[in-house]
Chain A
Amino acid sequence: MQKFLADASEFFPILLQGVGLTILVTVGSLVLSTILGLVWAMMRVSGIRVLSGVSAGLINLIRGIPIIVLLFYLYFVMPDFGITLTALQAAILGLGIAYSAYQAENFRAGIEAIDKGQIEAAQTIGMGWWLTMRRVVLPQAVRIVLPPYGNIMIMLLKDSSQASTITVAELALQGKLIASSTFKNTSVFTLVALMYLTMSIPLILLVRHLEKRASRR
């Protein structure tokens, strides 16, 4: 234990630099996946066959490819097509695209959970599709969507470690580098695990709070 504490105080500052990148990758891809997921979900429920077909196809395509392969593709293959991304850009883009599929399915479930009578009532007072979405459907869907959204945040935080495979020096990669140069595997990876856990716990509490609030209605 004493040894672990000594190692921890030595490695903590280095790992903390990784935490910064972990948060950056997580937040960046969360924002991107939310926007893309909303777009896919809106296309899916638009009632326009071409749009919902394209959206369904895209979602299945994205879901069927492992995140790590998507990251490799963006970072190692795209330069062959003249598009060179930094490791950080590729990580945010890759995780954002990968998670947009889950976001879209969550948003769609929330939108489709709204009673059809609500939509008809909106139509009968002259609301068009977009106004119905904005004023009637989405405000109600948010309550349904938020708890699963919190879970997606937690998963995304942990999956941001996959960015290490394309050289983003986030928490997992920093840990691996320290471990391979000091051979203090136990101390380093225990510390890394604890740091991920520390970041997850607030999110876990947030999800619990949101679930409680959603069930109250």
Chain B
Amino acid sequence: MIELRNVHKSFGAVEVLKGISASVEKSEVVCIIGPSGSGKSTILRCINGLESYDAGDILVEGTRVESKAASIVAIRTQVSMVFQRFNLFPHRTAIENVVEGPIYVKKAPPAEALERGRALLAQVGLSDKANAYPAQLSGGQQQRVAIARALAMQPRAILFDEPTSALDPELVGDVLGVMRKLADDGMTMVVVTHEMGFAREVADRVLFIDGGVIVEQGAAKSLLDQPQHARTQDFLRRVLHPL
């Protein structure tokens, strides 16, 4: 459903993606791990057309992603994104954030969109916060609203860009719980994360990226438990045993 073929991307003189090829099947959960600055987030941003890429192809359901083309809108309504810093609209309440896309982009009837929006907020455990503004919510609650906002577009896949990295540790579980439920329901997900426990339990496959290339990829458990490559071993040791 999502396919990357030999994707290259540079910021100025720095090449951050040096030929990435990967694919994500329907209902698959793929976690991307790797050190900061390795190009993990850039991959997600290229899939969504937030960044353009210099060479190679990214295909979503067979359509080539081009960030400046008109077709990008259709791709974005199929592939939603959840950000590290939530990026909720601060001047709108939780429910307004959720129904913004359905009403103004998909032109859904407001009453219908609101009803669905409330159901989605219930799904992420925030029925009672529908009328709260983002500033009145905790980080974990904001991120769950952001997930509901992404779901409201009825996407075929969701890209998560370090969804728990900006959260206080005790709030991480709520967000991961919502994501796990989504995975169980068959949502296609690409997750850039440092949560190795989540990757091990929820992901089907894990990609380890370093220096702009995929160093190693494979089934989640085998890659995390028996990494083959020295760089993967070194990275996992640092993440799992920082002391």
Contact = CB atoms under 8 A, between A and B. Distances in A.
Interface stretch (B8-16, B98-106, B208-216, B231-239): B98-106
Contacts of B91: 139-140
Interface string A119-155: 0111111111001000110011000000000000000
B222 interface: no
B83 A125 contact: no
B18 to A, nearest CB: 24
Contacts of A140: 89-91
A135 B91 CA distance: 10
Given A125-B149, A126-B77, A126-B101, A120 B90 contact: no
Nearest to A135: B104
B73 A126 contact: yes
A118 interface: yes
B76 A123 contact: yes
B80 to A, nearest CB: 6
Given A124-B50, A125-B153, A118 B100 contact: no
B88 interface: yes
Interface in A174-217: 217
A117 interface: yes
B134 to A, nearest CB: 11
B104 A120 contact: no
Contacts of A131: 104-105
A117 B134 CA distance: 14
Contacts of B105: 125-127, 131
B76 A124 contact: yes
A125 B76 contact: yes
Contact of A120 (B80, B83, B101, B149): B83
Contacts of A136: 89
Contacts of A125: 76-77, 80, 100-101, 105, 149-150, 153
A56 B48 CA distance: 32
B87 interface: yes
B194 to A, nearest CB: 20
Contacts of A118: 87, 89-90
B81 interface: yes
Interface string B65-97: 000000001101100110101011111000000
A124 B48 contact: yes
A121 B83 contact: yes
A121 B104 CA distance: 14
Most buried by A among B77, B80, B104, B153: B104
B76 A126 contact: yes
A117 B85 contact: yes
A135 B48 CA distance: 21
A128 B76 CA distance: 11
B50 A135 contact: no
Contacts of A126: 73-74, 76-77, 101, 105-106, 153
Contacts of A115: 87
Interface of B: 48-50, 73-74, 76-77, 80-81, 83, 85, 87-91, 100-101, 104-106, 135, 146, 149-150, 153
Interface of A: 115, 117-118, 120-128, 131, 135-136, 139-140, 217
30 contacts: A117-B85, A120-B50, A121-B87, A121-B89, A121-B149, A123-B48, A123-B49, A123-B76, A124-B48, A124-B50, A124-B76, A124-B150, A125-B77, A125-B80, A125-B100, A125-B101, A125-B149, A125-B153, A126-B73, A126-B74, A126-B76, A126-B77, A126-B106, A126-B153, A127-B104, A127-B105, A135-B100, A140-B89, A140-B91, A217-B135
Given A121-B88, A123-B49, A123-B50, 13 more contacts: A118-B89, A120-B87, A124-B50, A124-B76, A124-B150, A125-B76, A125-B80, A125-B150, A126-B77, A127-B101, A127-B105, A136-B89, A217-B135
